[in-house]
Amino acid sequence: MDFPKRICEIFGMENSGPITGGRQCGAVRYSVASLGRSSVCHCRMCQRAFGSFYAALVVAQDLIWTSGQPSFFASSNLSKRGFCQGCGTPLSLKNSDDALLEIATGSLDNPELAPPSLQINHRYACSFSDDIGKLPTPDSETVAENDEWNATVISYQKP
């Protein structure tokens, strides 16, 4: 069975129609036929490119840019990274010797379709990254305060 379809069944989500995504400003949008391997990469280049402790990436099959085009940066002699010229956020990774194109999992309209199943370059992981899931979560009072604050936020990001 198709992995994203199975995830949708498990979590009770719809998976009809194409799998879509794009950048926060909406200038670049895409559609993919299916998703492949989903991973997080801990290498230093991915950390810097995503401004995070790791990059969440998923293999995209039959990607079509439906609105706008990404800009590209050759981050090494082997890789180029796609990003949105409008908002600057990361979008894709393509290795020159590899036919696979990976997209940033967070750029999917529904990132729940691609839960990571593999860690790549873990030896370069930040010493604290494995314990992030063990950090305490806010108590109910803090959650209520956050909900109040979040209710005042007007997002300019595009769906």
pLDDT for the residue numbered 137: 87
Instruction: Give the Cα separation of 3 and 11 in Å (integer).
Output: 12
Closest CA to 59 of 106, 105, 8, 109: 105
Task: List the alpha helices (DSSP H) in 12-118.
Answer: 44-50
Contact 27, 86 (CB under 8 A): yes
User: What average pLDDT does the structure give for the chain?
Assistant: 87
Order the strands of the 19-22 sheet from edge to edge.
Answer: 19-22, 29-32, 64-67
Instruction: Give the Cα separation of 88 and 108 in Å (integer).
Output: 16
Instruction: Give the Cα separation of 5 and 35 in Å (integer).
Output: 10
pTM over 0.95: no
CA 119, chain centre distance (Å) = 14
Q: Give kind and range of the element (H or E) at residue 141.
A: helix 140-151
Q: What is the mean pLDDT of residues 107-132?
A: 95
Task: List the alpha helices (DSSP H) in 15-130.
Answer: 44-50
Contact 60, 103 (CB under 8 A): yes
Summarize pLDDT for 45-101 with one digit per residue, the tens. Answer: 999 999 999 999 999 999 999 999 999 999 999 999 999 998 988 999 998 766 789
